[in-house]
Structure 1
Amino acid sequence: MTRTAFVARISAAGPDDVSGLEAALDGGLPADGVVALLGKTEGNGCVNDFTRAFAVRALSDAMARRRPDAATAVSYVMSGGTEGGLAPHFLLLGRRDVTGHEVPADDRAPEGAALAVGGARTAALPPEHLGRLAQVRLVADAVRAAIADAGIDDTADVHFVQIKCPLLTADRIAAAEARGAATATRDTLKSMGLSRAASALGVAVALGELALSDIADEAIGRDTALWSGRASTSAGVELVDHEIVVLGMSRAWTGPLAVEHAVMGDQIDVEPVRGALRRLGFTADGQLGPEERGALVALLAKAEAGTTGRLRGHRHTMLDDSDISSTRHARAFVAGALAGLVGHAEIFVSGGAEHQGPDGGGPVAIIADRTRLPSRRSER
């Protein structure tokens, strides 16, 4: 038995809009094969962004009508903040078993490998472990489990690891202190960055990009020399554990979908992303035209302002704005740069890239349907 992945990008009229999800499932995508739902919701992306929990509730309720175990078997990774032209949307990722004759010849993996999707969840994270090595270890173990779930044998074939991680609230801090434990911070907003940071370092350890011995508690969220080129982490108030989704390539899978990744060196470094598009078979020299845009199934990216306050030598004010969090500026800025490259803004840009790519940059993943590329169609 062979597996094939499916991915649907679904526009959303609001965090509770499940009509697109229901249409996709009514159209034949199997509910029991759904691994994860990723979403961009139009809140502020900060501690009190309850659009994420609102979307999770709506999506999980819709899934539960078709799948009894949907609350625990499916990962719901919501990223708040659709600043600028970012379009609210959901990504439905899943898999199903197929036999060789069930896959049309034109849809088989042309290069002998295809998109593989895996998932895992951790146990609940004690608040006092957030932003510390205990969180790094917990996430690393779960990433390894997700890679195994995807059937990927070599970590070099993993292109992106998307994680939803918890944050601290006043109640969670109080619960830890009642046990005599101290949290890494009492600032709930800063806890988001620490959680993203430790989770990203967990990915780096699982993928062999860093050794656990390279990391100390005091380096988490501070040492910008430590980073993963394939981690994307997002913190939220709606959970206390970690939901992990792995995207990679495997010869044990078939189908038309493929994934590639790139690392942006700064917020306008689109050339590595153009290189990833080339490796997938896109040929446009400038912005993708309509004939190739249809083959772009999903684009996921991390964004941050960087710690220097400068971009290619010029000062910016993202870190100095007391009215708007720098993560909100960065999401809009990077989304604009990437939208200019691919020709639309229905892309998954998550702010806060601690240890996710170099300082000021971030990893990017592209999922493409190779059979929809003009170059592939002309070969038939």
Structure 2
Amino acid sequence: MPTTTSAMTVASAGAPFTRRALEVADPRPDEVLVRVEAVGMCHADLAVRAGEFPFPLPGVAGHEGAGIVEQVGSGVTTVRPGDRVVLTFDSCGRCRGCVSGVPSQCYEFVARNFTNGARPDGTPSLHDGDGVVHGNFFGQSSFATYALARERNTIPVPAIAADVPSSVLAPLGCGIQTGAGAVLNVLQPEASSTVAVFGAGVVGLSAVMAAALLPIEQLVVVDVLDSRLELARELGATTVVNSRTTDPIEAIKDATGGGAGHVVESSGVPAVLVQAIKSLRVGGAAAVVGVPPFGTTAPIDVADVVNDSKRVIGVVEGRSNPPTFLPDLVALTAAGRLPVEKLVTTFPLGDVERAAEAMKNGTATKPVLLPEKNT
């Protein structure tokens, strides 16, 4: 009998999430069926609902799933039924990016994680009777009780994290690894350097937590919500700036003695990206992780970038190689060095709209949905 999943589905752009019982396809040789215990909510999920991302509808979003393996395909060797796992982005495994250990630069990244709405070969993974509902969002579509993923984007949870709840592990699959990876994998700030983070959402705060692990001299965080700035200070920020009342460029230059050596821009707001680049010192580097709607542009001062030898780097998923980077993040979380639990607020899966509103108004930094058992 096909597996039935209770999924929060978006019928069309702007429509609310609606619960529907769907059939999940049986795992193919390279696929894994996961019973979802927790799934983080990210701005990308809300962009799908709004029609801002090129994911076909009707469909099921959700891309920070964590849970228990229920079934595996005949060719799967890295996980087995009963294993705890974290789900992350999908990649082809064959292109230059994948074979060089940087699957976040997979040549098929957009198709496999956004635009297909189906398996890589175009066949559906979700059905509503005889009708097709688009799935495979980030290779999982985990706003549901069950998710079908591939072995490549199913990462076993190390035994060291046996006592860490899935609600804390789930955000590691996207938001946490994006922010932490931007610092640890891309910018790699040297000792006594300075780091500035624009945007104190979950990605920005993950960058803060990662930077706080390093022997840097200054860690500046910019946001418009005092509550988020207070949390940033608790997580290790040495200076916080509310950009509604203070010029962040001048504040960063004052705090760092001329500009930050490293910047993470996580807001996805074009005007903020401009500020982030201008706040760099000569020779500084900006990791850009915030994604506005596709086609958005920003008025960059090219002379400023060229004359001050600045580097602007687009970063997808923290330039992570999930089979190695995610276990490292899990270990840091289990050891209390990456306090992800301070970002998490849990909601029942059926309260997905309330969770979305809480994230939008800033009362929840990282909503995590908990599928109800036996539904």
State if a TM-score over 0.5 links the two structures: no
Q: What TM-score does the superposition give when structure 1 sets the normalisation length?
A: 0.24
